[in-house]
Amino acid sequence: MNRIKSKIRVGILGCGAIGSRIARSIKSECDEQAWVTGLFDINPAKSERLAKFLPYSKNIIRNSYQELLAVSDLIVEAVNAPDTHVLVRQALLSNKDILIMSVGKFIDGESILRLAQKRGVRLLIPSGAIAGIDAIKAAALGKITQITLTTRKPIYGFADNAYVQAKRINLSHIKKETILFDGKVREAVKCFPQNINVAATIALASGAKDRLRIRISTSPEFKVNSHEIEVIGEFGRLLTKTENVVCPDNPKTSYLAVLSAIQTLKQFFQGVKLGT
């Protein structure tokens, strides 16, 4: 029992596909350093379903967010709700470390970063479905003159997009690579909310969101989601490209984004951080 008490207590906020995979991975990847002590979801059925897959599932379902905070040292946020910003703030004010999956909610997240620093708690933001965040953070110590994110997605990925519909773009008529959007990150957030996690991560890492340009394109030839980043600055030039397969549990999420979160937690629990 003493060994268990020495572990980091993890609360899962949001027990959908992403939260569930992270919770199960804590057992398989971080069993000696951490354990899940609480589950909370506004849909109790999701918490109950996840609890069945955890070896210590007895009495870990919590009836409120406050109950979850009370039994946790670290919160894994995986809800992407309208009040995500409030939930994260509550965790920080309760002096809980927190890993954020819905980073897109924090495109202007400087206040949350300052609060974490003030409270002396750790705010973990995984790299997600892109490569190069370590280099972008380093480059940000000098001057970044240009930064561009080009996202390419299959045509079906835009079928229900309000911006595409408002522009009366007929997706069935597209025969080659076509740029659907080319503009600033804040406008991209409004027009293509499904891409905001990647854009927000780059914005926060670079500290140059006012210079961040977003291009979004589609083509019948595209079979996977890809993200290409170009950064030019005093350090030189960076170019990365990631082609993502979808998460087996959630087709709306890139598998790499979930793996990135698990690796972030693993390094945090073990106290070893590789890369910048």
Catalytic residue IDs? 227
Give the β-pairing of 212-219 and 144-154: parallel
CA atoms within 13 Å, Cβ hemisphere of 217:
16
Indicate if the alpha-carbon torsion angle 35, 38, 43, 44 is positive or negative: positive
Give Cβ neighbours of residue 27 (< 8 Å, ≥ 6 apart).
Answer: 35, 36, 54, 55
Orientation angle between helical segments 17-30 and 255-270, nearest 10 degrees: 40
Query: At residue 125, what is the residue type?
Result: I
Share in percent of the chain as helix, strand, coil (round to 5)? 40, 25, 30
Query: At residue 151, what is the residue type?
Result: T
Give the β-pairing of 8-13 and 74-77: parallel
Dihedral (C-alpha) 186, 136, 91, 189: value to the nearest 10 degrees? Answer: 20
Indicate if the alpha-carbon torsion angle 104, 108, 113, 115 is positive or negative: negative
**Distance between CA atoms of residues 136 and 229, nearest Å:** 10
**Buried-exposed string 59-70: b where 16+ CB fall within 10 A, e elsewhere:** ebbbeebeebbe
